[in-house]
Amino acid sequence: MSLSISFVGDGLTAGGSWAEWFPEYDVTNLGLSGNTTTELVSGLDAMIASAPDVIVILAGTNDLGWRKSDEYVVRNLETILYRLRRALPATRILIQSVFPRHPDFALTIRSINRHIRQYAATQHALYLDLWPVLALANGEIDPQFSSDQLHLTDEGYQVWLDQLRPALEVLFAGSPTTSSIPIQHA
């Protein structure tokens, strides 16, 4: 029986070919274009009912499009992690950093990512920081990875996948842990 992975999030997650990229696992893509953290909180019961072996979360960027504060996004992400951990104590959870966008969002995104990195450990979730491989020095998403400062190009998905694959290997190698996953720099 293969292990199950649920990819949860917004259009960035929805756009991924996760089942194709991870054929060795039973993959469910629960990403939905336009999803905010509020929609993810509302959908937690269904996610919990499916009880996957691993949940991979990417959320928060759409909240910024609605001008939600970093505190709002952090509170929702913390709620998601807390409720998942409480309901699914044996499920491995990987939460990923909010991706860079336009430089105007950089300070808010960095604040969200800093808080979630710290909180993830308290819920025995791993944190995968993709900011270093996707962002330019000014906090903008690297144009080679996005043509509109939000959605990913094929190259953007490849960079994400190159970081995600080893992170999942670490996640599957042991029991749920409290440490974050270091990024391999080329």
Going along the chain from its start, the domains and CATH numbers come out as 4-173 (3.40.50.1110)
State the pTM of this model: 0.91
Report residue 35 CA to chain centroid gap: 13
Query: Which segments of the chain does DSSP mark as H helices, in order?
Result: 11-14, 18-21, 37-42, 44-50, 61-65, 70-87, 106-122, 131-134, 154-173
Structure confidence by residue, pLDDT tens digits, 6-19? 999 999 999 999 99
What mean pLDDT do residues 140-150 have? 95
Residue 184 is predicted with a pLDDT of: 53
Q: Letter for the amino acid at 168?
A: L
The position carrying tokens 């190259």 is 155
Beta carbons of 164 and 128 less than 8 angstroms apart: yes
Between 105 and 171, the more confident residue is: 105
**Residue among 14, 29, 12 nearest 134 (CA):** 12
Beta carbons of 100 and 91 less than 8 angstroms apart: no
**Residue among 72, 89, 149 nearest 125 (CA):** 89
Beta carbons of 85 and 123 less than 8 angstroms apart: yes
